[in-house]
């Protein structure tokens, strides 16, 4: 087994994410969280179709669809990842990941279909659970939030079972 699957040690990266988390609390009074930004962006798309309908939905009254701190965080993330991949010579530029291709073949459509459906379930689940791997898994867990310590094992149980079933076929 490899000691590190990334260019940097997972312990170094984890430490730096912990420090980054302290920085967001100190400088912005906000925890690192990602999934709410998707909901806000989806609401902005919804506003293009029907502003009245979107505005009447309960969760958009609580988290209005607009560009704010969390959305800017998510806008920065692909830029940072691109920068890291470029400096490390790790730009992939693929539509089908290698592991998927080994098992299911090189066709793009099945991968995109599963990714789309997976993304929908992921998005719905994140909103219902109240956060994602960042919001619950890191920020909530480090603040000792009870709900986060419940959601986090559930994330893993669901993912382990699904990955096992998916790759059985």
Partner 1 sequence: MTTPENVPPVLIIPLRAGEQQDMEAPGKPDSARQLVLALVFGIAFGFLLQKGGVARYEVLMGQFFLTDFTVIKVMLTAIIVGMLGIFSLRALGLVELHVKPTHYAANIVGGLLFGVGLGLLGYCPGTGVAALGQGNCDAIAGIIGLMAGSYLYAETSGYVASTIQKIGSRGEITLPELLGIRLSIFLAAFVPALVLALFALARLAP
The reply on whether position 104 binds partner 1 by CB under 8 A is no
Q: Which is nearer to partner 1, 51 or 161 (CB)?
A: 161
Judged by CB under 8 A, the chain residues 124 through 143 that form the site for partner 1 are 124-143
48 binds partner 1 (CB under 8 A): no
Tokens of 49: 């179709």
Nearer to partner 1, 5 or 51 (CB): 5
In the region spanning residues 77 to 96, those forming contacts with partner 1, defined by CB under 8 A, are 77-85, 88, 90-96
CB-based contacts of 32, cutoff 8 Å, min separation 6: 17, 20, 21, 24, 73, 134, 135, 138, 139
Contact 23, 139 (CB under 8 A): no
Residue 106 makes contact with partner 1 by CB under 8 A: no
Can residue 55 be called a binding residue for partner 1 (CB under 8 A)?
no
Angle, CA 2 vertex, CA 112 and CA 84 arms, to 5°:
60
Calculate ∠ Cα 58-143-32, nearest 5°.
Answer: 60
Q: Which residue has the tokens 């079972």?
A: 161
Q: Which of 51, 106, 107, 158 binds partner 1 (CB under 8 A)?
A: 158
Binding residue for partner 1, selected from 51, 75, 106, 107, defined by CB under 8 A = 75
By CB under 8 A, residue 110 contacts partner 1: no
């Amino acid at each position: 087994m490899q000691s590190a699957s990334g260019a940097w040690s997972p312990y170094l990266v984890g430490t730096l994410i912990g420090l980054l988390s302290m920085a967001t609390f100190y400088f912005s009074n906000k925890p690192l969280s990602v999934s709410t930004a998707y909901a806000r962006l989806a609401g902005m798309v919804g506003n293009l179709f029907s502003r009245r309908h979107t505005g009447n939905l309960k969760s958009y009254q609580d988290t209005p669809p607009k560009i704010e701190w969390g959305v800017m965080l998510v806008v920065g993330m692909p830029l940072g990842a691109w920068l890291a991949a470029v400096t490390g010579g790790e730009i992939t530029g693929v539509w089908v990941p290698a592991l998927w291709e080994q098992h299911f073949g090189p066709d793009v459509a099945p991968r995109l279909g599963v990714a789309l459906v997976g993304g929908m379930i992921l998005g719905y689940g994140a909103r219902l659970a109240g956060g994602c791997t960042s919001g619950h898994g890191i920020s909530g867990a480090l603040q000792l939030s009870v709900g986060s310590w419940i959601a986090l094992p559930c994330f893993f149980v669901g993912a382990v079972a699904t990955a096992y079933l998916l790759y059985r076929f």
